[in-house]
Amino acid sequence: MLKKTYMQLGARLLFMKARKSLLTSAIGFMLILSISELFVSTHVAFNGQFRLKPLIGAVYSQNMVPITGAMVVASGSNGTGFSTTDSYGRYQIAEGLGTGEYSVTVTAKGYIDLRIEKVQVVAGEETSGINFLLKQSGAISGKVTGAGNKPLKGVLVYAMQTTGTGGNASSYALTGEDGSYVINTGLSTGKYNVTAGWYALGLLGETVGYIAKSKSDVKVVEVEETSDVNFQLEISGAISGKVTTTEGIPLLGLMVVATSSDGKYFGFGYTDGSGNYKITNGLGTGSYNVLVFKGMMPSFKSDVSVTAGEETPNIDFEISIPLSGTISGRVTDIRGNPVKDASVHASGPEGHGQAKTDVNGYYAISEGLGTGDYTVYATALGYDPSSSIAVGVTVNQETKGIDFQLEKISAIVSGKISGEVKGAPTAIGPEALSVTVSANPSTIGSGGTSTIEISVKSNGTPIPASTVTLTSDRGGVFSEVTDHGDGTYTVIFTAPSVAASTPCMITASVSKAGYTSGSGQGEVALEPLLALAVTVTTSPATIYSGGESTITVSVASQGTVITGAAISLTSDKGGAFSMVTDRADGTYEATFTAPDITAETICTLATTASKSGYLSSSGQTDVMVQPLILNIYVKDTDGNPIAGATVSSTSQPSGQTALSGTTDVNGLVRFSGVLKGSYTITASKTGYEEKTWTVTVTAGQATTETINISKPTEPTKFPWVLVITAIVAVLIIVGAVGAVFMMRKRTRKA
């Protein structure tokens, strides 16, 4: 609450500065944010030399009617504290005030601020009777519209005093559903500049996207209302882009400012975690200079053309960041519990830097630290600052283990307050909404739910049909708001995860046409979740490309198996997972199908287990994936291996190069890293018949095929030798027979 109050004041000062000097406004705004952070921190812990001191009194209007809900702030030489008045107009500031002199200021809706100076405070004692008598504020009212006189909701309208005394330097209001607004706090008699359409970083919930317009010399008289101060706004142009280092690292939280060359228009924005920014307010058609602030010297781009209602993208910046060393460590309390969001500061002759701790208390300051000696200390809301540690730093090196232990500030109970109700507030303008917030249950675990009940009243009368918006200072998720029609509203709050017992403040902001918006807070205690323990195994641990392995995930917490967990699986080298099966015994199974690879690959399989009521946890394991192998044996028809045979593919799957190889003494040629699919394989060798074979390589296994080749068959030859031999033999026989015949014939003649 106090932080928001100071940031709202910072936004007002920025509005006042903006038209005087672009650079002054930007630097001034950053200083204001820094101061607001200091004020928020010091209202609980200013230094290690004090504890708490109550300061009590009462706040009344001039006719002695107690004022409810007034903000009373004390700031001085040894601390800062605040409180709000109760229904009797009483207040007590009981935190953050050490011995010293203080200025005490009260702000109340419908009234003019009042300050009492030189209030003396002694630690451990009570300073009472610091009472206030407030004057009623004047008021400025009107309506804000856009094109076609369409009412604009949520537009920020602020009034800045130019002549007169007393009151606030500025005050503001947001327009309602019908575009109307009423500024009725802090306005004393005098003249004011009234501007509609400024942007306050979203701190006030304002609507953006318009070009601000102003009206000067608006007369205000205390207790009276100056009406019909109306505005019609034009749509703003936009400038967007990205801010990174020269190495491409995105830069978070940098202010980017655009001002038109003629000085007529002005807008600004901030970079997000990806380095992206977008300026959407205050930009009319024209040429702009765009600046981004990092360190003392802003980066600058000129002649950026903007058209109202359109976006000018890609106005990017690359900023050179000096080399830095790193200081890292952990911040815990005296019991060793991590302290989240603690600030760790390092300063020395060669630079300075700071960082926030994460949920586990770890931090790393990795920017702004040149080689040299540094003084390092830690602070956190609700804790005494740490002692300083001297640390040596070297550029491009990390100095580890710079740890801090912080001790919580203990509170001292203050005295009691008594009083009585004098009557209802009589401030002019719309009636205020009173908001109370309660939670049931008020203590939940991380990820648990609580029903938040909001009660909205005005002067004791329930107010239904209001717009209710809820926020949490620790994150979490809210359901849609249910309006019960009797001035009560409920919403389901789902808690974020926390590592230690953590108070969570729920804020309900309520608005309704015809009423002044109000807000209320309620606290939910968040308890840490038990951590899940995850182990992962695979079977088998080595598979072929496209093959399958069974993944078994075991989930437990403090020795107890956990069923019903949500299991997610990823692989750093690709592949696919089946649906996860819950075995109902704390184990979960899934099938991993390896990616298609052509070289030996290690796939790291990561598993995350989560379940409501527990802290999510992760585990991982490796699977070795072997490339597919095609073994071709070449043998003769008798099964004998043929060495030196040529084996090649004449067709193969898409993406696969043609295969070619020669068999070894075993008749084997091996092709490794092949793709799955169909191949046409030819085997040949001199003296043998060539043979073609179709082979299918299957994922997840080695493929082996045998091709038998044979020697060619000799053609049948005519037996000429036998024929000739037979003929000769016949001739010899015939000749012999003829000779015998002739001899016998001669013998007869003789």
- Which comes out higher in pLDDT, residue 346 or 48? 346
pLDDT band at 413 (very low <50, low <70, confident <90, very high): very low
- Supply the pLDDT for residue 124: 77
The answer to whether the peptide bond before residue 441 is cis (omega within 30 degrees of 0) is: yes
pLDDT of residue 36: 35
Amino acid in position 706: T
For the chain, give me the number of helices (H) and strands (E)? 3, 64
Query: Which CATH code of 3.40.50.1400, 2.60.40.10, 3.90.79.10, 3.30.470.30 fits the domain covering 431-509?
Result: 2.60.40.10
| Domain boundaries along the sequence of the chain | 2-134, 139-234, 236-319, 326-406, 431-509, 530-624, 628-708
Handedness of CA 586, 591, 596, 600 (dihedral sign): positive
Provide the mean pLDDT of the chain.
82
Determine the topology of domain 139-234 in CATH: Immunoglobulin-like (2.60.40)
Q: What is the pLDDT of residues 597-607, one digit of tens each?
A: 989 999 999 99
Q: What is the pLDDT of residues 641-698, one digit of tens each?
A: 999 999 999 999 998 999 999 999 999 999 999 999 999 999 999 999 999 999 999 9
Decide if pLDDT at 22 tops 50: no
Determine the topology of domain 2-134 in CATH: Immunoglobulin-like (2.60.40)
Mean pLDDT value across residues 417-421: 24
Highest mean pLDDT among 326-330, 613-617, 741-745: 326-330
The predicted-structure confidence for 517-558, as pLDDT tens digits, reads as follows 888 899 999 888 778 899 999 999 999 999 999 999 999 988
Which CATH class, in words, describes the domain spanning 326-406?
Answer: mainly beta
Question: What size, in residues, is the chain?
Answer: 750
- Which pTM was predicted? 0.48
Residue 121 — pLDDT band, cuts 50, 70, 90? confident
Return the pLDDT at 145: 93
Q: What is residue 191's predicted lDDT score, i.e. its pLDDT?
A: 92
Does residue 151 have a cis peptide bond before it, meaning omega lies within 30 degrees of 0?
A: no
Q: What is the pLDDT of residue 293?
A: 83
Q: Where is pLDDT greater, at 171 or 376?
A: 376
**Band of pLDDT at residue 734, cut at 50, 70 and 90:** confident
Q: CATH assignment of 628-708?
A: 2.60.40.1120
> Which of the 8 DSSP states describes residue 397?
-
Return the CATH fold of 236-319. Answer: Immunoglobulin-like (2.60.40)
Q: Distance between CA 495 and CA 477 in Å, rounded?
A: 7
Confidence tier at 375 by pLDDT (50, 70, 90): very high
Looking at domain 530-624, which of 2.60.40.10, 3.30.70.1140, 3.20.20.140, 3.40.50.2300 is its CATH number?
2.60.40.10
Asked whether this chain's domains 2-134 and 431-509 adopt the same fold, the reply is: yes
**Quick one: which of 220, 224, 114, 104 has its CA closest to 167?**
114
Per-residue pLDDT at 56 = 56
Q: Which of 383, 399, 376, 374 is nearest to 342 (CA)?
A: 383
Question: Is the pLDDT score of 422 beyond 70?
Answer: no
pLDDT of amino acid 426: 46
